[in-house]
Amino acid sequence: MLWLTPKSLREIEDNLREIGEATGCIERANELIAGCRTTLKKIADVTSKLSARPRVFCMEWLDPIYCSGHWVPEMVRIAGGVDELAREGTDSIRIAWEDVQKWAPEVLVIMPCGCHLDKVLELVPDLANLPGWSDLPAVRQGRVYAVDASSYSRGLGEGSERNGAFGAPHPSGTVSVERP
């Protein structure tokens, strides 16, 4: 039996190796890891040149509000953002809405754990009822993203590759939808 509970991108790599060894597919696992590392390096090479790193908040649950944890903060950093409310390498936790308001995220990623995009889109309208929602820079600038959490939280490249847009301008709008 394999125990797979990664809390970092490195631990995801370790888990992939364990699966590869257990299934006799270690070469394939190593190829996958190498491909993901290449993707992450390409992203980091681009985002390391950004003149500014936007404040990001990845919301892993909406009611109550949870910050992101595990490897998501690593993905945000690689993608060019900063999320000081996140808990890198550990579990996400419940946080006060007032803390989000004080952080004033310039990018908001709505990614409730275990929710596919259709469910996320059902939940998004309720956020507009939060006090100060329309005052958040992310909302004013149209940089609120509703995403399929299953796709974004997979780690090792795909989510960070999508998140690479943190440093790029985005067309105005209330909520952008990211389909996997």
pLDDT at 164: 45
101-155 pLDDT, tens digit per residue, is 999 999 999 999 888 888 888 888 889 999 999 999 999 999 999 888 776 544 4
pLDDT at 151: 63
pLDDT at 150: 72
Does the pLDDT value for residue 55 go beyond 90? yes
Q: What is the mean pLDDT of the chain?
A: 85
Give φ, ψ of 136 to 5 degrees: -65, 135
Q: What is the DSSP string of 97-149?
A: HHHHHHH--SEEEE--TT--HHHHHHHHHHHTTSTTGGGSHHHHTT-EEEE-H
Q: Sort 91 into a burial class: Cβ within 10 Å, 0-12 / 13-18 / 19+.
A: exposed
pLDDT at 157: 42
DSSP class of 84: T
What does the pLDDT average to over 16-36?
95
DSSP element (H, E) containing 62: strand 61-62
pLDDT at 158: 47
What does the pLDDT average to over 38-59?
92
5-16 pLDDT, tens digit per residue, is 899 999 999 999
Does the pLDDT value for residue 57 go beyond 60? yes
Higher pLDDT, 49 or 100: 100
What does the pLDDT average to over 35-60?
92
User: 23 to each of 29, 32, 58, how far by Cα in Å?
Assistant: 10, 15, 34
Does the pLDDT value for residue 61 go beyond 90? yes
6-15, 27-36, 124-133, 164-173: least confidently modelled range: 164-173
Distance CA 11, CA 15 (A): 6
